[in-house]
């Protein structure tokens, strides 16, 4: 497992240093909500371009941000039940079912980081499984999933620098952990707390990609989705699922 994690990190962390040097583009939630309401097809087109097999290099970071954060308003976490199912399957080690569930999630939200990373990891494990290879079943390349995840990580990285003044913006609690682990190689923290708008982690161990003692994530959209969930069916807080 340690070798697998190291391989995933190698694929995902290659462009971090350059990513952290770019100009910051904070998320304007009001603008994104308005764009989704007024021009939903434009946002869907941007999502399709960001999640395409080959990266559309004409996409600006403003385009990427509108696509990734706008997708949250297009689906309102409609894939979340499947994500919970996939996470349960992950503990069983049923690779084929995990992959099928990840693909179902991506059919709803092609920018879901949990599904992209899970699909990539499962395919990496399957590629090393001699019984799968012997069966003649096609084993897809994991790298396209990791490349798409890297595009999303780069998009999140463009929204801030992790400071209190310029937090990284997320729409899911799980994206905080994925971003820290697979993009910044931050695996250990001492405390986690929440403010009116941010999740704050006090880090116990830093990395070459992040050297500040704390990291802030802006979670306005997380709170909004939690309220919608409670109002809809009284479901558990998103944080309780972690």
Contact 191, 202 (CB under 8 A): yes
DSSP run (H or E) holding 23 = none
pTM attached to this predicted model: 0.86
What does the pLDDT look like over 12-27, one tens digit per residue?
554 444 444 567 999 9
Q: 3-state class of 125 per DSSP? A: helix
Q: Return the pLDDT at 135.
A: 47
Answer whether 98's CB lies under 8 Å from 80's CB: no
- The answer to whether residues 239 and 173 touch, using CB atoms and an 8 Å cutoff, is yes
Confidence of residue 234 (pLDDT cuts 50, 70, 90): very low
Residues 145-171 have a mean pLDDT of: 95
| pLDDT, average across residues 65-77 | 97
Q: How far apart are CA 69 and CA 73, in angstroms?
A: 7
Residue 147, C-beta contacts closer than 8 angstroms, at least 6 positions apart: 55
Rounded Cα–Cα distance for residues 64 and 131 (Å): 40
pLDDT surpasses 70 at 43: yes
Output the pLDDT for position 235: 42
The pLDDT, as a whole number, for residue 128 is 75
In terms of Cα–Cα distance, which of 119, 129, 152, 177 is closest to 12? 152
Instruction: Say which residue, 164 or 238, is predicted with more confidence.
Output: 164
């Amino acid at each position: 497992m340690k070798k697998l994690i190291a391989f995933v990190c190698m694929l995902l962390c290659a462009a971090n240093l350059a990513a952290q040097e770019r100009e910051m583009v904070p998320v304007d939630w009001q603008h994104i909500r308005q764009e989704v309401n007024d021009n939903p097809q434009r946002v869907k087109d941007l999502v399709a371009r960001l999640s395409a097999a080959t990266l559309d290099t004409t996409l600006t970071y403003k385009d990427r941000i509108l696509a990734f954060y706008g997708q949250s308003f297009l689906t309102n976490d409609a894939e979340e039940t499947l994500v919970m199912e996939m996470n349960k399957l992950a503990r069983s080690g049923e690779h084929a079912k995990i992959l099928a569930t990840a693909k179902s999630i991506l059919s709803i939200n092609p920018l879901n980081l949990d599904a992209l990373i899970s699909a990539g990891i499962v395919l990496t494990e399957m590629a090393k499984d001699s019984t799968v290879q012997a069966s003649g079943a096609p084993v897809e390349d994991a790298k396209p999933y990791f490349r798409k995840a890297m595009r999303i990580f780069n998009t999140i990285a463009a929204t801030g620098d992790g400071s209190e003044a310029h937090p990284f913006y997320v729409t899911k609690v799980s994206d905080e952990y994925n971003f820290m682990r697979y993009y910044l190689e931050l695996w250990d923290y001492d405390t986690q707390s929440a403010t009116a708008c941010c999740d704050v982690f006090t880090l116990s161990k830093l990395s070459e990609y992040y050297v500040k003692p704390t990291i802030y994530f802006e979670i306005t959209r997380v709170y909004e989705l939690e309220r919608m969930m409670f109002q809809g069916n009284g479901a558990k807080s998103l944080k309780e699922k972690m």
